[in-house]
Chains A and B, each alone.
Chain A
Amino acid sequence: MSVRARPTSPHLQIYRWTITMTMSIFHRATGIANYAGMALLAIWLVAAALDQEALNLVNVIYGSWFGQIVLFGFTWSLVHHMVGGLRHWVWDFAVMMEPGQRELMAWATIAASVIITLLIWTAFVWMA
Chain B
Amino acid sequence: MRETPITRDMIADPKTHYGDAKASTRHFITQRVTGLINVLFLGLLLFVVVRLAGQDRADMISVVGNFWIGVPLAVLIAIAAVHMRNGMRDTLEDYFAGSMYRLTMLLNTLFCLIVGLAGAGAVLKIVFWG
Chain B 26-44, CB-CB to A under 8 Å as 1, else 0, gives: 0000001001101100100
Please name the residue on chain B nearest to A43 by beta carbon: B118
- A85–B87 alpha-carbon span in the complex (Å): 11
Please give the residue numbers on chain A whose beta carbons come within 8 Å of chain B beta carbons, in ascending order.
Answer: 28, 31-32, 34-35, 38-39, 41-42, 45-46, 48-49, 51-52, 55, 59, 62-63, 78-79, 82, 85-86, 88-89, 92, 120, 124, 128
Complex contacts, B119 vs chain A, CB 8 Å: 38, 41-42, 45-46
Instruction: Pick from A38, A45, A85, A92 the residue with the most CB of B within 10 Å.
Output: A45
B22 contacts partner chain A, Cβ-Cβ < 8 Å: no
A51 to B87 CA separation, bound complex (whole angstroms) = 33
Q: B35, B36, B57: which contacts A52 (Cβ < 8 A)?
A: B57
A63–B46 contact, CB under 8 A?
Answer: no
User: Looking at chain B's contact residues, is the secondary structure mostly helix, strand, loop, or mixed?
Assistant: helix
Interface residues of B in 76-130 (CB under 8 A from A): 77, 80-81, 84, 87-88, 91, 111, 114-115, 118-119, 121-123, 125-126
Q: Which of A45, A55, A124 contacts B56, CB < 8 Å?
A: A55
Question: Which residue numbers of B lie inside 8 Å of A, CB to CB?
Answer: 32, 35-36, 38-39, 42, 45-46, 50, 53-54, 56-57, 60-61, 64, 77, 80-81, 84, 87-88, 91, 111, 114-115, 118-119, 121-123, 125-126
Chain A contact surface mostly = helix
Tell me if A39 and B122 are in contact (CB < 8 A).
no
The docked-state distance in angstroms from the alpha carbon of A47 to that of B56 is 11
Chain B contacts for A55, CB-based, 8 A? 56-57, 60
Give the residue of B35, B45, B118 whose beta carbon is less than 8 angstroms from that of A85: B35
Contact partner, A63, options B54, B60, B91, B118, Cβ 8 Å: B54
Q: Are A39 and B35 in touch, CB under 8 angstroms?
A: no
Of residues A38, A63, A88, which shows the largest number of chain B Cβ atoms within 10 Å of its Cβ? A38
Judging by beta carbons under 8 Å apart, are A82 and B39 in contact? yes
Q: Which residues of A contact B39 (CB under 8 A)?
A: 82, 86
Residue of A whose beta carbon sits closest to that of B52: A48
For the complex of A and B, 9 pairs with smallest distance between CB atoms: A49-B122, A45-B122, A42-B119, A48-B60, A46-B122, A49-B125, A42-B118, A124-B50, A85-B35
Distance A42 CA – B45 CA, assembled complex (angstroms)? 12
